[in-house]
Structure 1
């Protein structure tokens, strides 16, 4: 069958992301063919587009990590899904398309009361937050959790998950405008990352220490917040939005400056201070099908609220959607509606 895809013969610039027609093969054993209805955007997408994501191919790349849609065909060995089923999928790239073939282990049923847009906004951000807090952070009841970029998709779910453990949550945002829009998210404290940020944070802590630090900026605030970690405190690095650019192609001079001035950790002091720094990316999880499936099952049991959607764009507005997302001025998820 024919499908439309956004594809790059060579990464490096958004201008190389072109919409084209191509043939999609029939599903192989254990695969499902999905008619894509919505696509969720993530930081990894435009890092891939700019050629800055090591796990992504540099040539013939179809970006996209998550989507929702309707099953229209299935291969031998698929008993869990049938044509007509509404599903959510997580892919190792390839979701910027109208149709996709995917192994059944990377699909889950779309909840009955969720829209396709909500389904395409869930897996990557919720799984990132859950893996960071539970698997790496070993989150415990009543801890203090600092969440950078709490108004983003991952940040919102990190707060919701931390609240399931009755934790005190402190979120940071880039501007005052985002605070009002977060008023219903039950964040205990929200701070703007400005010149008063660290002083305000210390006032909130009142001589207490941070147990878990969710770091997605990797910029100038890392060292000062890391120094506020408690003994056995953990800093979980899951992103590097500080390296994101707001143009169609990377500013390599600016990126080089940020790279060489990035925060560094003295491993000997980690021993002395009894702290940890851990990092991860979801592509690593993608190669562990059974483990990934078990985490998704645990996520569903948490009964988290629906995703927060910031803006929805049409499929032919993909460039506009990506530029809006990387502007850093969005709340929640940016979604592309396919059909």
Structure 2
């Protein structure tokens, strides 16, 4: 089975990562590549690492450019996918890497994004309970945010098993590519090198309502989330350190907690619960669709600590998008997706 695929936003980081993965996908034939400000240029002038597509001309991002494909990936800035998706054929599989269709609560969208809510699509994090069944029955997919991918994979088994109270504290460090490719003074090399800094402090980051949504669905009750993102001096990767208080009556035995996580991830091809004593690192998952997870119990604080690492551009965006596409099309889930990282 071969499907014809278009990528809107091919000049950006997420679009470039999609093309890197699709180039090795035996079931995908890459068709139209579109951009906004880079339209009319060769792809190789903005994505020189993509030698296979270097001579392709970037078209203007429009419904006309994207029609006639089996799959359309939207790697566009937040707020730009809704109107474009509405113009595409209902039978086309549309996979949105932006935030437009992730949230179920219109009020939460309007509060954090400041525009009308475009709607809600099935959520492209296959590891969540029930997600694969939804993905198999849809032609529209909302890919999770990179921080929610890392933190949800770290925490949701504990909430689903009612091991912890309905709260979570999440501190996560991301590489600079998580901010996208648009130039900004605080992302200059001279500003980032040798420095870490927080942002979106005090519940202000746009991924907060998505984290609340994911963990609340897993727990079956509302979960409060305190989320603090930080910018790390590296191009890509996320390390999420998450914790939640153990419920009264839950023993502070790490081996019992580990059994819950082992069961949750036993059949997951892209999530690895590391052996005791080994901790996740962003270097180990670089360029892969893999997530590393580790847990520990702090008996004095009665808190469960869960740490995860993902590549924000692969498992955190483009890899998750291709994984969800595979499921929706009935293809093998691992097709075209690397599980091994790149080192050193």
Structure 2 length-normalised TM: 0.31
Q: TM-score, normalised by structure 1?
A: 0.31
